[in-house]
Chains A and B, each alone.
Chain A
Amino acid sequence: MGGKKKKSFIDKKRSATFTLVARDSASSSDPLSSNRVFVRTDNHYDYSVPGFLDSDEEQYNRDGESSIFADAVEESGARYAGRSNGSGLPEEVRKEILELGLPDDGYNYLMHLREIRNQGGGSAYYENPRARFDLVPLDVKAYDASRVRLNSDAVKDDEPGVDTIYKVASKSAPVRVQKAIDPDVIRLLDDSDLSRFGSDVEDLEEDFVLMANQPDGEEDENDDVQVKKSGADEEAVYERESDSEVDDEMDDVVQQRVRRPLDDAFDEAFKEYLSSDEDNGPIFGDENQAELEEKLKGALKDFNLEDSVQEEVYKAPADSVKDDQEYAQVIRKCTEYAQKYLNESEGEEREVVLVSESSDESEMWDCETIVSTYSNLDNHPAKIEAPGNPKRRLPPKSIPFPGELGAGKDVITLGGKEMLPVNYLPQRRKIMEGLVREKLGSAEKPKKVVGEESKEEKKERKVALKNERREARRAKKELKGLYKSETQRAQKAVAVTGPSSIHLM
């Protein structure tokens, strides 16, 4: 390259170089400013370019106290001629750092200080405006003791209102308490019929064991009496319990309702019922059976049961409707109207709607359709080409072992770190055949022009070829068995030295 160098467009020594770098988001980042800013990268400070940078880019490049590079280690002190202090921090900042006892090494430790506002020791107190502290929390169980009856020993007088607790309480205050008992518990206790606890199997009486142990004569009577007794006992017990524990709520509920005259009437009737000795339960006495039978028979007379049962032909219920009934007429009328409507519409518009049925014949797919249902996710259609010649890349036949170009057939080249024989591998069947041919010393017959070969000669040629191939196969097998380990080592060497496109074995 003779001659002087072409004059460059810009003289490097007299120019300012800027690079676009990502903005550090700590410093003034408003969404209008771009993500990247120009930063000056060269050191020619005698050449300044005012006006190229924005104000915030200027801030980046400025080496003042607020720049993020202010505390960086300086590379050459001669550049920063305008500096008075060596540590890079303003005086006030330095003073403060020194006061706190932190070392004065030019690093702004004030950045890491934190204001102490809450004395929470890691957790801060949060004022919840909706917290209510006037409710007694559920942990404290408060019971309404306003109705507790005192023991008569503690009460001096026998006045009616004295045995309440208010007389002996030192202090009583109205407090809103939550119910001491869970509503679930109350609901369970309220469950007076106990139907959920009854057994499905109603065969056994409740005290069947006792019954079984008793003598036979007394069984019938005792059943009823005992059942009734046990029922009564349960009720009594239950009432006592409910009195003591659930008294509060039950009484509240009962007394809240204003007593009506109906309540009084009910109470009277109830008393009468209880006091009467008649057996008011289900009647299974003999004298009433005849009446019952008659009643039962007559009950269903109004309904035509016989029609639906006797006929053999299956009929829908609507078909067995007789005309003398109202609903039969209604149904008949409905059908008439429907028929009329249908006939009207039929007469006016006759639309022939062709529905293409998918019969079996039409479901037959032709090859076009089959291809189109495949999606390119699974099927990657490629252009169909004629298969190329796969052996293109291998070297020509004249060289039995590739890699030995010019080295001669008898020289085995060594290569790689371990200096193993490189490419000492039989590569192709045809090469082997060529070797065998040389060994056997058979000369290739001059190839005749196609079409002029006689049948015998053709046959001979083919037989000879077959023999060669057979011999080659045998020789290959022998060699392979003998030199298996060598083959492996050669493979390793080839892998390291030769290009990977060579197909091994």
Chain B
Amino acid sequence: MAAVAGYGAMKPTTKLGVEEPQDQLNRIHITLSSRDVKSLEKVCSDLVKGAKDKQVRVKGPVRMPTKVLHITTRKSPCGEGTNTWDRFELRIHKRVIQLISTKEVVKKITEIKIESSVEVDVRIANL
């Protein structure tokens, strides 16, 4: 309820019919996650740059804390020998970008080349 009320109270700064006549503004929430920081950062920067070029309100990229998944196993396949252990880890990085703009513009922005190692989740809500 509170969320809905808050929703209703939030009006866009631009009124329909004045600055953005036809298009309905949407809130778009993009989550990017990957195991590879470099490609992730690249995709993030591309998105933010593209959004800024199109004069779209951008928030981000917000860096979520990386999740590290550990696996600790004995190195030896049998039980013999000095007891040495392997410590494997998998790091998941997550970035969040928020935009407020029309759908067409968003489509254009997200048409950048995204590397296959980066997973993209988009959530759209009407304003």
Contact = CB atoms under 8 A, between A and B. Distances in A.
A7 B116 CA distance: 33
Interface residues of A, number: 31
A7 B6 contact: yes
Interface stretch (A14-22, A169-177, A457-465): A14-22
Interface stretch (B12-20, B44-52, B119-127): B119-127
Given A18-B124, A51-B103, A52-B124, A495 B83 contact: yes
B7 A52 contact: no
B125 A14 contact: yes
B9 to A, nearest CB: 9
Instruction: Classify the interface of chain B: helix, strand, loop or mixed.
Output: mixed
Max chain A Cβ within 10 angstroms of own Cβ: one of B59, B103, B125? B125
Max chain B Cβ within 10 angstroms of own Cβ: one of A38, A47, A52? A52
A259 to B, nearest CB: 86
B103 A10 contact: no
Nearest to B106: A52
B125 A20 contact: no
A12 B4 CA distance: 11
B70 to A, nearest CB: 14
Given A7-B6, A9-B27, A17 B85 contact: no
A4 interface: yes
A36 interface: yes
B104 A10 contact: no
A493 B122 CA distance: 51
Nearest to A19: B121
A325 interface: no
A3 to B, nearest CB: 12
A503 B2 CA distance: 59
Given A7-B6, A17-B123, A52 B103 contact: yes
Interface string A33-71: 011101001000001010110000000000000000000
A15 B124 contact: yes
Contacts of B121: 17-20, 41
Contact of B126 (A9, A14, A38): A14
Nearest to A495: B83
Given A10-B27, A19-B121, A4 B103 contact: no
Contacts of B59: 9
Contact of B114 (A11, A20, A491): A20
B29 interface: yes
A41 B98 CA distance: 19
B103 A15 contact: no
A308 B113 CA distance: 89
A304 to B, nearest CB: 89
A4 B2 contact: yes
A491 B119 CA distance: 45
B11 interface: no
A362 interface: no
A11 B103 contact: no
B3 interface: yes
Nearest to A6: B6
A15 B123 contact: yes
Interface residues of B, number: 31
A51 B103 CA distance: 7
Given A4-B2, A15-B124, A51-B104, A500 B84 contact: yes
Interface string B79-103: 0001111000000000000100001
A379 interface: no
A288 interface: no
Contacts of B38: none
A8 B63 CA distance: 17
Max chain A Cβ within 10 angstroms of own Cβ: one of B98, B104, B124? B124
A288 to B, nearest CB: 99
Interface in A207-225: none
Nearest to A16: B124
Contacts of B98: 9
Contacts of B29: 9-10, 15
A10 B107 CA distance: 18
Contact of B123 (A10, A36, A51, A491): A10
Contacts of B26: 49
A500 B103 contact: no
Nearest to B7: A11
Contact of A500 (B6, B10, B85, B126): B85
B24 to A, nearest CB: 10
A32 B36 CA distance: 27
Contacts of B104: 51
A38 B125 contact: no
Contacts of A19: 119-122
A117 to B, nearest CB: 40
A49 B104 CA distance: 11
25 contacts: A4-B2, A7-B3, A10-B29, A10-B123, A10-B124, A14-B125, A15-B124, A16-B123, A16-B124, A17-B121, A17-B123, A17-B124, A18-B121, A18-B123, A18-B124, A19-B119, A19-B120, A20-B114, A20-B119, A20-B122, A34-B113, A49-B103, A52-B103, A52-B106, A494-B83
The 6 lowest CB-CB distance pairs between A and B, nearest first, are A495-B83, A15-B125, A20-B120, A10-B125, A18-B122, A7-B6
Interface of A: 4, 7-12, 14-20, 22, 34-36, 38, 41, 47, 49, 51-52, 491-492, 494-496, 500, 504
Given A7-B10, A16-B123, 13 more contacts: A7-B3, A10-B123, A12-B123, A14-B125, A16-B125, A18-B124, A20-B114, A34-B113, A49-B26, A49-B124, A51-B107, A491-B83, A500-B83
